[in-house]
Amino acid sequence: MVKQTIQIFGRIKPNKKTTAVYSVDNEEQTGASLEFVVPRDLADGFVNNKRECYKFRFQKVFDQATKQEEIFEHIAKPVADSVLAGYNGTIFAYGQTGSGKTFTITGGAQRYNDRGIVPRTLSYLYERFSQDSNMVYTTNISYLEIYNEVGYDLLDSRHEASRLEDLPKVMIMEDPDQNIHLRNLSMQQSANEEEALNLLFLGDTNRMIAETPMNQASTRSHCIFTVHLCRREPGSATVRRSKLHLVDLAGSDRVSKTGLNGQLLTEAKYINLSLHYLEQESISTCRFAQRVALIKNEAILNEELDPALLIARLKREVLSLKEELAMVTGEQRDDQLTVEEIQKLEKQVKAFLDDTDPDFTLSLGPDMRKIQYCFSLLKTMILDKQVRRNRHSDGQESPAATGMQEEKEENSHHSAAEVDKLKEMLQQRDNEISILVKMLKKEKKRAQDAAAQLTSIPTDQRASTMPLLKEGSVDAASENHGGRAAQHMKRGPQLSMGKKEAFETFIRDHKDNLTIEDNKSLLKQRSAETRRLREQLNESRDRITELKKQLEMRRRQRAAHGVMGNHKDSEEEDDPVEENLRKHIEQEKLAYKSTIDHLKALRTEMEHLQLLLERAKIKIHKDFHQWWSQEASSLQESESGATARCPVGSPNGALQPSSPGTPGFRAPALSSTMRGSPAGDPNPDRPGSSGQEIRSITPRSVPAWNNISLDGKVTDCTPLSEWRAIATSTISSSSFPLTGDQQTDADILAFIRARQNLFSRAGPP
């Protein structure tokens, strides 16, 4: 049992604007310290106790420039090692909203290098499993979200959650010993890193989709990603089960919203008020950390006996004891050894003879039949050898021939191994081919679907209805990989033409678009690099085969020389050519291995990038639908206001474009009204003219273009030609008659900008 206090670390979020109000000292003997310096006059003004310095102790403090990798190495790796050894481990992030908890635990959603503790730990664990062939590891994963004291299972794969409440509920129960039990939380098995990352992605996607502006779940809920590990030695009844909990807590300023004690909230609020100028609402977090550091934990090794394996082991023991008893009491078994038993014994004897270790023994158990069989086998071998030696001394066989014979045997042994290898390669190729055929079929189907879609769309609309982010192999690869995400996107209703066009404008100006493009080009680079490395790998493999052939040839030549008596001792002498060839082979093998490692790293990076891209796609879809429905409801409001009022001319005013409701969205707000078909529009097939979307958002049919005034009210005063002139002219607040009502005028300008935008892309009607 290990008794240890909880280790606490501080991480300071990068902030360009920050004024240096803190200092970090990592050189202290007993750990590190973080000190906040508050000038006395300001402290007097805002803080009651008049202190100037707030000093906190940590195991280590990570300053602004710290990279995710360093955080993983210092914090997560040692915990992962303990979990591998059979102890439970927990890492949790605590801090105020926006302080970087999710960034630290899960990672940034944009760059591969920003991946956080969870994906890095998963990589590390699976790497360690592959290095330890003496143990069998099984991994299960669960992902829980707790909001308002109710648990939700994030690994719900039905893709139906659009609200948190749609996810399966998890009962959180406590037994008399204060152990927490979770009922109805699913545990998904993950055989490899890719499967584990997909589960993380599924959980994060469910988390994101279930979140609405009214319920900022990420800031108000706790999320617990747990890796359940089971480790056992093959054949042993002892199993070690351990859990690693990676926890992203709710923002400390929102803790009361999660149903926990409101004390911290009060404290945080007080400090927020008094120290807001510091721009780091951080002191309450540090105080909390100091209290946590006092908690002592008793770590226990979670070792247990697997009943099924224990029974099997005991049965074996009983059998062996029975045999021993029979041998001691002279009651021998007289039944014949089975074919399998004989084959097994032959293998055992061969292994026994091949092993050069003098301490290696042949363990046969107390079965006299087996012992006798092995002795007779050994006797036959010795006799065979003697016969061969006699023939040699009688001049029937030359030593070279004996040597050749032995070499032949060795060669046939080698070629059997080669054949096995080739068979394995063939199997791999078969698998690869069937995967490629599947992909090809999928691509063909997609192309057919796209073609069918295109033929059903009027020619002038085709360019604008191309699906989001579909281009080149990158997307094909990501769709292939991130199947779950694609399903998430597909399950929603298909976008109508008009909405699709608005969507295009939306994504073009979305804040994440640049990152998506960057990630796509990075992915392309990485796939090119992968192709190059694969070629390199093939070349290296060919070289190794060639070198091996040369080596084989050289050996044969030397043996032949020996037979002809040219060089009697040639087989025993060191041959520099052979030595050189062997060295070359070793070097090539090293290069081959390092290329494989490089490829593996690239594959992980590409998988991650594909997941990031999928997540970004889902996010954009979600943002768009949110924005679209906001626009629809504001349109409804303005329309009902418009029918109640009469249009009037108004003074010009300084205006702000209306907010699209999405942070970072720089495109003008596309009011849904502009989707209406102008009366007498020469192109009735224009996006939105079907009125499909409009009908769904307005209770009556949409007003025609010449029925809408600049202030959005229904009138018949603006002819269509004038509208188009307005729409294609440069926008300035002074060019149009405005109402003076800031919100309405903002809507007008946004509307005109959007219209202009569409016209400039679609060309003059």
Ligand X SMILES: Nc1ncnc2c1ncn2[C@@H]1O[C@H](COP(=O)(O)OP(=O)(O)OP(=O)(O)O)[C@@H](O)[C@H]1O
Binding residues for ATP: 95-102
As a whole number of angstroms, the distance between CA 127 and CA 120 comes to: 11
Residues within window 139-168 making contact with ligand X, judged by CB under 6 A: none
Closest separation in Å from C-beta 294 to ligand X: 24
Closest separation in Å from C-beta 94 to ligand X: 9
Binding of ligand X at residue 260 (CB under 6 A)? no
Closest separation in Å from C-beta 95 to ligand X: 5
Q: Which is nearer to ligand X, 257 or 484 (CB)?
A: 257
Interface with ligand X (CB under 6 A), residue total 14
Residues within window 352-411 making contact with ligand X, judged by CB under 6 A: none
Which residues are bridge partners to 55 per DSSP?
35
**Which listed residue (7, 24, 86, 108) binds ligand X by CB under 6 A?**
108
Closest separation in Å from C-beta 134 to ligand X: 39
Contact in structure between 60 and 32 (CB atoms under 8 Å): yes
What are the b/e assignments for 154-176, b being 16+ CB within 10 Å? bbbeebebeebeebeebebeeee
Closest separation in Å from C-beta 127 to ligand X: 25
Q: Which amino acid is at 765?
A: P
Q: Which is nearer to ligand X, 143 or 705 (CB)?
A: 143
Binding of ligand X at residue 519 (CB under 6 A)? no
Closest separation in Å from C-beta 108 to ligand X: 5
Sign, CA dihedral 323-326-328-334, equals negative
Closest separation in Å from C-beta 101 to ligand X: 4
Q: Which is nearer to ligand X, 104 or 698 (CB)?
A: 104
Please report, for residues 457, 464, 631, 694, 748, the alpha-carbon distance to residue 677 in angstroms, rounded to integers and kept in the order given: 17, 18, 18, 10, 18
As a whole number of angstroms, the distance between CA 537 and CA 592 comes to: 6
As a whole number of angstroms, the distance between CA 209 and CA 621 comes to: 10
Query: Exposed (0-12), middle (13-18) or buried (19+): which is 533, by Cβ within 10 Å?
Result: middle
Closest separation in Å from C-beta 250 to ligand X: 6
Secondary structure (H, E, C), 650-714: CCCCCCCCCCCCCCCCCCCCCCHHHHCCCCCCCCCCCCCCCCHHHHHHCCCCCCCHHHECCCCCE
Closest separation in Å from C-beta 249 to ligand X: 8
**Which listed residue (5, 14, 409, 424) binds ligand X by CB under 6 A?**
14
Q: Which is nearer to ligand X, 95 or 668 (CB)?
A: 95
Q: Which is nearer to ligand X, 113 or 696 (CB)?
A: 113
Residue 273 has which token pair? 């008020």
Q: Which is nearer to ligand X, 69 or 317 (CB)?
A: 69
Q: Which is nearer to ligand X, 14 or 649 (CB)?
A: 14
Secondary structure of residue 258 in the 3-state scheme: helix
Sign, CA dihedral 53-57-58-61, equals positive
Give binding residues as ranges.
95-102
Binding of ligand X at residue 256 (CB under 6 A)? no
Binding of ligand X at residue 664 (CB under 6 A)? no
E strand residue ranges, 130-210:
136-147, 150-153, 169-174, 180-183, 188-189
Secondary structure of residue 125 in the 3-state scheme: helix
Binding of ligand X at residue 13 (CB under 6 A)? yes
**Which listed residue (198, 206, 219, 756) binds ligand X by CB under 6 A?**
219
As a whole number of angstroms, the distance between CA 130 and CA 607 comes to: 19
Residues within window 85-104 making contact with ligand X, judged by CB under 6 A: 95, 97-103
**Which listed residue (251, 482, 660, 688) binds ligand X by CB under 6 A?**
251
Q: Which is nearer to ligand X, 114 or 341 (CB)?
A: 114
Q: Which is nearer to ligand X, 89 or 95 (CB)?
A: 95
- Please list, in sequence order, all residues whose beta carbon lies within 8 angstroms of the beta carbon of residue 476, skipping any fewer than 6 positions away: 439, 443, 446
Q: Which is nearer to ligand X, 271 or 670 (CB)?
A: 271
Closest separation in Å from C-beta 619 to ligand X: 12
**Which listed residue (88, 123, 188, 218) binds ligand X by CB under 6 A?**
218
Binding of ligand X at residue 498 (CB under 6 A)? no
How many CB atoms within 10 Å of residue 718? 16
Residue showing the smallest CB distance to ligand X in the complex: 100
Where on the chain is the footprint of ligand X (CB under 6 A)?
A: 13-14, 95, 97-103, 108, 218-219, 251
